[in-house]
Amino acid sequence: MLSDARSFWSLSNVPLGGCGSARRSADSDTMTTEERHRHFFEVVNPRLDTLGRLICEASAIGDHVLGETRYAELLAFYDEQVTLGYWHPGLTESVADFTAARDAAAALPYYVQALDQARALDAETHTILIWMAECLFKLGQREQAEACLRDGRAESVRREETDYVQEADRVLREASA
């Protein structure tokens, strides 16, 4: 099962930058790839780290109401950033991960969006594909899941990301059990 902890682990392994503000610049919709990544690491990721910790803490103490409140804060932050033009596949994938812990079907549009964003930035897609495959397996969409998993695993192998190769193998084993 997808867990908040797995989602948070993914967030906490992204390098953090310094603090910044989420002011809209006149050209936020035409940011370069480098500017978009910089904004993600300096502004978005530190907030995702905080929100992820708060969601996981609520889950750890079994406080469902607090967890849902923190999740709503994550969604509000996502909406704010997207409205300001500061979309990023890392942000969208994080929302997909936390959504998948609640509802696999609701997570799929976020994973699709994250995949489109990653491809637009020529960024990594392997984690998106692996977690999307896990959701697709849960929803009984085996053929699509296997295609995503195959592509995600292949990219993990190319990038020499052995942890994600093992994660892809785990997803397939659990789906086959």
> pLDDT by residue (tens digit) across 64-117?
999 999 999 999 999 999 999 999 999 999 999 999 999 999 999 999 999 999
Contact partners, residue 36, CB within 8 Å, separation at least 6: 86, 87, 88, 121
**30 vs 152: which has the higher pLDDT:** 152
8 A C-beta contact, residue 88 and residue 34 = no
Specify if 151 maps to a domain. Answer: yes
In terms of pTM, does the model score above 0.85?
no
Does residue 142 sit in the same domain as residue 70?
no
Specify if 76 maps to a domain. Answer: yes
Domain count, the chain: 2
Does residue 41 sit in the same domain as residue 13?
yes
Determine the longest span between alpha carbons in the chain, in angstroms. 52
Specify if 117 maps to a domain. Answer: no
Specify if 116 maps to a domain. Answer: no
Q: What is the pLDDT of residues 16-27, one digit of tens each?
A: 222 222 333 334
Number of Cα atoms under 13 Å in the Cβ half of residue 160: 0
Specify if 163 maps to a domain. Answer: yes
Range of the domain at 44: 1-106
Does residue 73 sit in the same domain as residue 149?
no
